[in-house]
Structure 1
């Protein structure tokens, strides 16, 4: 998958720089043409010669060390890259990237490149959790930079927590999945012959004939998924609740109202479908009783008793056999923890999580910022992009796994 790909590997000054040697070697073994740029601090931990031998290319660290008068090296590398990978990425380099600083070879190249950028942070647990660092990373993600989250464990400083650079093998897997997704997303027919059921929008739980409980879901994400699935060759059945727009033309669509309505609609197609994507925002509770006529105003307060609705995703997870099941987790905090918990509890194959409070993500927006998890952890972190592109990338991941090409 990496054969013929040019990867610029940026190495910054943290103890995890020693892992760059293994990472460089593994990328080269996979067929990548690796060009290393080191910061001056990185050279305190690992030598240029080590990375030069492993990459079989000259290593750069000085913007003004122009060895060929016919080219400007930081522009040449910026233009040649299919991917720029910063591993390890210190808090300092992340701050430079977030604020557009260019005071060394690596940061200058980053400003000049139009290639996708992937970052593997590595630092002390308290540094990683500092609001400034978190804000800088969020700013980069919103610009399209892909983050490879650090692992948890014993750090070189003696602390235990999150901040350890992800292992080289895992980073290589992320890079391979990225290129696999990029190349296969454009291929028609990835879901040829598959029956796909997509749920979308918000459900409505009636209080009386004129009032109801619902949520802010627009249906746009589910609609984008349904359309992308059709483009990939699938037979698509779309089940939608309340939405802000009309469903895509030419797709078999079924309008429902309540959580129970949606559950019954899904069950009609469950046994003979291949893939179910539960993008709908289903109400967790409904009124215990629905009044047959308008409830008239009386008194200063009103008590409304609510009872749980059917948990559609959980019920599907319990009964699935060969179906591939994808759930969504719209959260406002602790996104990763809640998403992983939901994945396990509801027996999903993949869970798509997002922070609906983030700018450019969530309800009613035309863009989204999501993380896709499986039972082993993060599969892909998608920066801010159109919901159409999120849909294509998500379905590519699902199609590859359903077709047995990866897991």
Structure 2
């Protein structure tokens, strides 16, 4: 059986990390994981599922001592494929896989925004390092056509890019009234409150401050944000300034957002810098109406595939958001868009790439070929 090693920067709560854990449950192959940093909660979840997780112990972005350790893990494992996820893992992982002589090296680009990647600015140095190491691999998987276009703008050749969207397990988010009641009780949210919800890392590009401003214009409404990050203190401060601190709940990060989605009445996604929009799909799978700005997963689809996902322009302010969020509430049917991205189908696409069942975007160079400098 084809042996695959997934290399990822870390396994704390995050979109790429959760996506990897989900993929591993559906890939019909012999998979293991290497995390450059430590396993974290998602890593422990993966281990409980029976997948080995190797911790490389990297101490920082420039900890070059991690490279030979990763080369040893790859070489000792005799993997047929190394699949990297997230910027640092792509840089180190492609070099290590090449040194270890891995036949097929794939990278998935999860988080390439317009002017940033995983929260860091895309300086010329960042782009140059990305391009140099990208050439060491066989192909780069983009999670949406939007990301594929950004990769091409960075100088990655079109014939080296293939699109395999993120996947979702719709049944995991099915609405359950008991879960709604329990979650609201745990978070101190009244059972009859109108709850605006959001999920994501607390960073400026998510524009969660706009939601605080919008909810401040909605008497009695609550705002529930699931996620953590550097913007947490600023959001707390803004909620106090707008006198809605008692109506804003920052619930922190979690590996299971389904209970929080059950507690919401409408889902908000004001980010203008999305690479896929997995949170929107999860909300739709939970039967929530959605108000959003950028969502590459939905943008190319016909309106009838997600009729309850209303789009507001990037320039829309708090008044427009409060008006739209206030008029949308209650459960809606799960739309066809959700089932377009079923995880089993996306995992099958990756499995075919690993085993040669689909044309590859590029060809792996022979292991004996020297690495360009």
Higher alpha-carbon Rg = 1
Question: By percentage of residues, which structure has more helix?
Answer: 2
Question: By percentage of residues, which structure has more strand?
Answer: 1
Q: Which has the higher contact order (CA 8 A, sep 6+)?
A: 2
Task: Return the TM-score normalized by structure 1.
Answer: 0.33
